[in-house]
Copies of this chain bind each other. A is one copy, B any other.
């Protein structure tokens, strides 16, 4: 270890952001808790259960802020996440990616090993057969959702597709329990008006409930009606017929969600702390030690009304500098500059100065780091160091 390296043992023991090796991923605990409470209240107010998606945080410490006591329910995007959370005591886990035969074997082994109820996702009779076969070998009755396509986003079956009932019947024949139907209104990320978002949420609800009704009319119980995306979860006004809502990025929020209109800049809970390592005054550039390796290559705001470059730049306390963005990024360099057309002037930031950079996409920025340095508001104190997992 060296003078500037964070000592994992030293977490909370007087360490401040000045003692962090940069670039460093910061997580504001106060904003995290505010974001968690906001959606929890909204969803419970509409009579549904929230099944948070852990693919953004990938951290047991964050999960425990969402569930101070209960063992879930949670959603995961990889079996590595399922194993990590199951081994940490979470017992109700939906693996929301269509399964392969190998994933079915691995997921059922996890259920057998930990007793966790791991639910799968599928939309073909081939997957139903593979999951049924894996269940027989494992001596477990597998449980799976049928994936729905409610907005031409990605995978899944249309509610009126005859294959919906065919797959449900095949699951029954293969010895796979139908957990319910699951949809994700991924196209809602492209919207940016309240009216459009409310309509997308209602479309997601109507289509998902319709699929459940069709299956029930054919004698399938279909107990769970699951839907969600961070934008539709926040703009839903009616969840009649829905049993659970899924969302993940809502815990941290990001510039894409800000562009959609789901949050304010002040709600963004993560940022990358960077150090100034150079300048090109004649070009209006300040160079920092955070490039795409720390910020991610995500440019999600490029297709929005306001392109935020590789991120919005704040001072070391987290206060936004008007019009200053990361205009370019290479592997370990970021170039800070004013947005095109700005009449502001660049802040004075000598070599060694610190800045915080807000993410285009929280899932992508966080994935570039192995731990969160937990802060609160504009205090420089590091309250804790929370590890995160990666891989598959």
- In the complex, the chain B residue whose C-beta lies closest to that of A113 is B2
Does A173 touch B at the CB level, under 8 Å?
Answer: no
Given contacts A2-B109, A350-B126, contact A154 B330 (CB under 8 A): yes
A111 to chain B, nearest CB (A): 11
Chain B: minimal CB distance from A100 (Å): 5
Interface size of A in residues (CB-CB distance below 8 Å): 66
Judge whether A100 and B275 touch: CB under 8 Å.
yes
Query: Do A127 and B4 touch (CB < 8 A)?
Result: no
Please, what's the 1-or-0 string for A306-336, where 1 marks a CB less than 8 Å from any CB in chain B?
A: 0000000000000000000000101111010
Taking a contact as CB atoms under 8 Å apart, the answer to whether A278 and B155 are in contact is yes
For the complex, is A390 an interface residue (Cβ under 8 Å from B)? Answer: yes
Q: How many identical chains are in the complex? A: 2
Chain B residues whose C-beta falls within 8 Å of the C-beta of A101 in the assembled complex: 351-352
Residue A367 at the chain B interface, CB threshold 8 Å: yes
**Identity of the chain B residue whose Cβ is nearest the Cβ of A333 in the assembled complex:** B154
Assess whether A55 is interfacial by the CB under 8 Å rule.
Answer: yes
Contact between A293 and B367 (Cβ–Cβ < 8 Å)? yes
Instruction: Determine if A16 is an interface residue (Cβ-Cβ < 8 Å).
Output: no
Query: Does A289 reach chain B (CB closer than 8 Å)?
Result: yes
Instruction: Known contacts A21-B392, A296-B297, A390-B370; decide if A77 and B278 are in contact (CB<8 Å).
Output: no
A277 touches B97 (CB 8 A): yes
Q: Flag if A106 contacts B4 (CB, 8 Å).
A: yes
With A77-B332, A127-B351, A367-B293 as given contacts, are A102 and B275 in contact (CB-CB < 8 Å)?
yes
Task: Return the contact of A278 from the options B124, B299, B333, B368 (Cβ within 8 A).
Answer: B124
**What CA separation (Å) do A280 and B5 show in the bound complex?**
49
Q: Is A292 positioned at the interface, with any CB of B under 8 Å from its CB?
A: yes
A280 to chain B: closest residue by CB: B155
Residues of B within 8 Å of A287, CB to CB, are 98, 154-155
Q: Say whether A105 faces chain B, with CB atoms less than 8 Å apart.
A: yes
Quote the shortest CB–CB distance from A257 to chain B (angstroms): 15
Q: Is A3 an interface residue (CB 8 A)?
A: yes
Residue interface mask A357-372, B partner, CB < 8 A = 1: 0000001100111100
Chain B proximity of A95: nearest CB distance (Å): 10
Which residues of the other chain, B, contact A55 by a CB distance below 8 angstroms? 331-332
A132 beta carbon closer than 8 Å to chain B? no
Question: CB of A165 within 8 A of chain B?
Answer: no
- A130 on the interface (CB 8 Å rule)? yes
Given contacts A154-B333, A332-B55, contact A123 B186 (CB under 8 A): no
Nearest chain B residue, comparing its CB with the CB of A102: B4
Q: Which of A77, A277, A330 has the most CB of B within 10 A?
A: A277
How far is A366 from B282 in the complex, measured between Cα atoms in Å?
35
Please, how many angstroms separate the alpha-carbon atoms of A331 and B300 in the complex? 13
CA distance A275 to B97 in the complex (A): 12
CB distance from A200 to the nearest CB of B (A): 17
Name the contact of A100 in the complex, choosing from B79, B106, B289, B330 (C-beta under 8 A): B289
Known: A4-B103, A97-B277. 10 other contacts (CB 8 A): A3-B106, A97-B332, A100-B277, A101-B351, A103-B275, A126-B350, A127-B278, A155-B277, A297-B364, A369-B391
10 closest residue pairs by CB, A with B: A297-B297, A98-B277, A2-B109, A100-B275, A98-B278, A4-B102, A155-B278, A297-B298, A126-B351, A4-B106
